[in-house]
A and B are shown apart, each in its own frame.
Chain A
Amino acid sequence: DAGVIQSPRHEVTEMGQEVTLRCKPISGHNSLFWYRQTMMRGLELLIYFNNNVPIDDSGMPEDRFSAKMPNASFSTLKIQPSEPRDSAVYFCASSLRTSSRPYNEQFFGPGTRLTVL
């Protein structure tokens, strides 16, 4: 079974450029999460979707960050314009949320390692 798929795996870009990260969740999962991980701050939740609808984007650092989920099998996280402080590993995760078990295991993708020069 395919797990969560993320692309690209590595991205090196220059300050000011637009960056788009992509995620394909596990088929059948109805929740999708975008995280950022750095040594200083650990794993931070940026935004999450339930049934393709953004539920909470309070973790998005600023207006330069945006995320979409046009359908159940695809999501993007965009940074425009990118800055050196955005350098981090960005993980996408998905889970199956049910009424009896709203906090189910989240399955993570391999991450995108972003470097902004």
Chain B
Amino acid sequence: RKEVEQDPGPFNVPEGATVAFNCTYSNSASQSFFWYRQDCRKEPKLLMSVYSSGNEDGRFTAQLNRASQYISLLIRDSKLSDSATYLCVVPRLTGGGNKLTFGTGTQLKVEL
């Protein structure tokens, strides 16, 4: 199993729709997780951190299922500006290090 796996998409949704992405991870000891957003030809930027069962920020909700080892990102009332690639990020637990493992990303296209 890969450290982090995501459906690459693309997810094409109409404006106003609700869309959800899932991400699975292999290391059951992972404690904190992140969703990053990357616009075309730009750098990744933090969207949300998930340190417990979940987190909500406006239209965005991240949920963590430790038993099944997956993290989800839900976007409600999607907007054209939400079009981007969403990267699931999991800590890589190795000897005192603080590396993060980035998934390959899920592409979202919000259309009129």
- Identify the A interface with B (CB < 8 A): 31, 33, 42-43, 45, 48, 50, 55-56, 91, 95, 97, 101-111
**Can you show 15 pairs from A to B with CB atoms below 8 A apart?**
A31-B98, A33-B99, A43-B44, A43-B102, A45-B99, A48-B98, A56-B99, A91-B43, A91-B44, A101-B32, A102-B98, A103-B32, A103-B98, A105-B46, A108-B43
Where chain B touches its partner, the secondary structure class is loop
Task: Report, as a range, how many residues of chain B touch the other chain.
Answer: 20 to 34
Q: Does chain A have a CB within 8 A of B17?
A: no
CB distance from B30 to the nearest CB of A (A): 9
- Identify the B interface with A (CB < 8 A): 31-32, 34, 42-46, 49, 87, 91, 94, 96-105
Contacting B34 at CB < 8 Å: which of A42, A48, A97, A105?
A: A105
Are A106 and B100 touching (Cβ within 8 A)?
Answer: yes
Are A42 and B102 touching (Cβ within 8 A)?
Answer: yes
Known A95-B98, A102-B98, A103-B100; judge A110-B43 contact (CB<8 A): yes
Question: How far apart sit A107 and B101, CA to CA, in the bound complex (Å)?
Answer: 15
In the complex, residue of chain B having the shortest beta-carbon distance to the beta carbon of A35: B102
Give every chain B residue within 8 A of A107 (Cβ-Cβ): 46
